Amino acid sequence: MKMKIFMCLKLFPLLFVLFSSSFSGALIKVPENATIPAVMFFGDSVVDTGNNNYITTLVRANFLPYGKDFIAGQPTGRFSNGKVPPDLFVEELGIKPCLPPYLDPSLVDEDLLTGVNFASGGSGYDPLTSNTMSVFSLSDQLEMFEEYIIKLKKIAGDEKSSYILRESLFVVVSGSNDIWNSFFNNLRQFQYDVPSYTDLLVSHVSSFAQELYRLGARRIGVFSMPAIGCMPSQITIRRIGLERKCVTEYNEIAQLFNKKLLSALTSLNAQFPQAKMVYLDFYDLPLDMISNPQKFGFKIVDKGCCGTGTFETSLLCTYACSNEDDYIFWDSFHPTEKAYRILIHQMLQENINYFICGKSLCS
């Protein structure tokens, strides 16, 4: 049965009043004379806020216990117990409490003016990854974005639409599924070695960023690949000895990809001086949290809150712990809202000036 996806502030009238009164605005200070009218996200399940609910795929999260700590305890297709990075971006910037999925049929004009989400859980930079999981590829997401621009121009006109595209943040989050699903568990490892496959992925990142630029985006952020060897599922699959330790080989692949990604974004900034292509570190802080959990208020780092915490995700996640704030991971792949909040707050604090001013100092 398809569950209707409610918008963040459309769940219940009373909830709307209560939440609006508690939503106090931006937590991140934007440089003076700068504006960020909207945020757009592209990518995989880390940032999908419900688009997969509208397609036939096993990669979905529109059922409890997912969303148990979201507004009114509603499962919305977010792969966590509560909010995920797109929601926290718009919340921290004071734009709105959540970032809705583009495919939500209840979208209104204001939703389009302040940003929507095109991400699809299970997707990757490699087209094979999305095809294998029967989800929206980045090419599909780009087509939806082009459709969005047409709608935006009808609402706001050409001039304001260009302004919104130029001043908004565009964020891309992907890559992990490519390594797990297409390289190690599919045909790619017989076609590429690790260096050449990471080259392929980075070439897709570069092409996608240039397409966003062609369509009017200027402030473009790309998440680095996380420490994929520390995901509970990967620890389970590659378990060595009695202890549940991070898989060094997988983390080294992520580090190689990240090094190449940073170089590619630096090159794009030189090629397109009007662009602000920003590398968003999603590797070091999560790894610090896993290595030093007490510093961040966590107790359990090698298992998720969902099920046994060792392999469950998506449809296999049928029950959850009651102490999710002790966990960095919600299921065997995705962090909890608490972990995301720490990560996104620091990420925005460290990078907001780069989105606005690039390498120059903001006045």
Q: What is the 3-state secondary structure (H, E, C) of 54-121?
A: HCCCCCCCCCCCCCCCCHHHCCCCCCCCCCCHHHHHHHHCCCCCCCCECCCCCCCHHHHHHCCECCCC
β partners of residue 171: 41, 221
Q: Are 88 and 101 in contact (CB under 8 A)?
A: no
Q: Residue 320 gets which letter from DSSP?
A: B
Catalytic residues: 45, 331, 334
Helices and strands of the chain, counted as H and E runs: 13, 6
State the alpha helices, DSSP H only, in the chain. Answer: 13-22, 85-92, 109-114, 127-133, 138-167, 176-177, 188-191, 194-214, 232-237, 248-271, 284-291, 293-296, 337-357
Cα separation, 332 vs 177, in Å, equals: 13
* Amino acid at residue number 133: M
| Tokens 């945020």 belong to residue | 39
Contact 208, 266 (CB under 8 A): no
Give the number of other Cβ atoms within 10 Å of residue 9's Cβ. 20
DSSP secondary structure letter of residue 362:
P
Six-digit token string for 220: 């473009």
CA distance 347 to 345: 5
CA angle 332, 118, 225 (to 5 degrees): 45
Contact, 126 vs 178, CB < 8 A? Answer: yes
